[in-house]
Amino acid sequence: MDRTVPRGDGVAMKTLSTVDAGFEAAFEALLSDRDTAQDVHAPVAAIIADVRARGDAALCDYTARFDRMTLSPDRLRVTDDEIDAAVSKVPADLRAALDFAATRIERFHRAQLPQDLRTTDDDGLTLGMRWTALDAVGIYVPGGKAAYPSSVLMNAIPARAAGVRRVAMVVPTPDGVMNNLVLAAARRAGVSEIYRVGGSQAVAALAYGTASIAAVDRIVGPGNAYVAEAKRQVFGRVGIDSIAGPSEVLILADSKNDPRHVALDLLAQAEHDELAQAVVITDSAAFGVAVARAVEQEIPTLPRAAIAGASWRDHGCVIVVRDWVEAAALANRIAPEHLQIMTDDPEALFATIRHAGAAFLGRYCPEAVGDYVGGPNHVLPTGRTARFASGLSVYDFLKRTTWISGDSAALDRVGPSAVALAEAEGLQAHARSVAIRLGNPPNP
């Protein structure tokens, strides 16, 4: 059953309990209550076609229209002097925090780098797999409701750690205002080019190139519905990381936790966006009520109270379960972007959960640590896609090439089976290309 508990502001807070007869229907509704994607296919397709046709001129026109800033093609790229000036305006303590976060992120992502493979099998063939970095990557950085220098680090550092030589960043600058900390993060992360253009037009420029912006091989980074749709439409021409949706957190917490801690962890996601979802699962109904009350008390104190309040009102939920086995089963169905486990033995409970973008274990590891300084990436699968997708890593900026090497003796052993299979498929040139070599000594 979908219960509602009156709150002080007159808004009802949603609670579910697995003991209620209507729980299953209410839980399914919770899983789908953010399916409100905008249909922006047509306008995005038109913008992409225009950028392909008119290049820099189209970028300048859209920047004037959407960002209220007049640009000429020679002003699309942010100059080194502008970046230097921006970095100099960032307070020393913030630069130190940025460097601390970047160092931790880089260390973790460099540890992910895979080794090439080489092995010789019993038939005498030498088989291998070689990893190589992409040549060029484009990073989209939002410039709307908030600027996120942490996202610059999370997108650019893995690319550089993988060995990508060219990292180009696009960032909208409404009314010509640039965020100094974003530019400082780009400098620290090794971004080689920065362009003051955003929206689906920026994605099109990265995918197809213009006179000022050379095309890239993969585009990563979050954006609004138009950016997400543009990434969807250019996929195939370039690679993309994912089609990101609103942020989400699922917290599994027992009654030994401080309700205010859990409330703030929920609001850390709710303040992102009105469509963000924050859910807590607990085995104590009384604790669930205490958390909801703490959330109500904290919302008015936040600078983004309207956003956080709308998110909690429309998409937040407290779920009461019989036990943690039941909680784990629900968590696997939710497949959350962020999972916090705040119980006596969080690792044991985590071992039973298969689907989560990133997990944060224990009472002193809030998800916000992962957003900034933990080390693992905060670009994660949303909207239940953690069932089949993973967070951003160095692997997104690498590709694999397999190879085979062998002499005539090895071909004598494996070739007959290849010939038989090719003939069975009716591909005679395949069969003959192998058969003509069988039994022949190597060329001198």
Looking at the annotation, which residues are catalytic? 337-338
Place of tokens 């249909």: 39
Strand partners, 197: none
- 220 SS3 class: strand
Strand partners, 193: 168
- 308 SS3 class: helix
Contact of 35 with 336, CB cutoff 8 Å: no
Determine the Cα–Cα distance for residues 439 and 285; give it in Å rounded to an integer.
77
Query: Which token pair is 208?
Result: 């197809």
Contacts of 201 (CB under 8 A, 6+ apart): 47, 48, 50, 51, 58, 59, 62, 63
Helix (H) or strand (E) holding 249: strand 248-253
- 338 SS3 class: strand
Place of tokens 């069932």: 387
Nearest to 362 by CA among 211, 219, 251: 251
Determine the Cα–Cα distance for residues 221 and 149; give it in Å rounded to an integer.
12
φ/ψ of residue 242, rounded to 5: -170, 170
Determine the Cα–Cα distance for residues 272 and 256; give it in Å rounded to an integer.
27
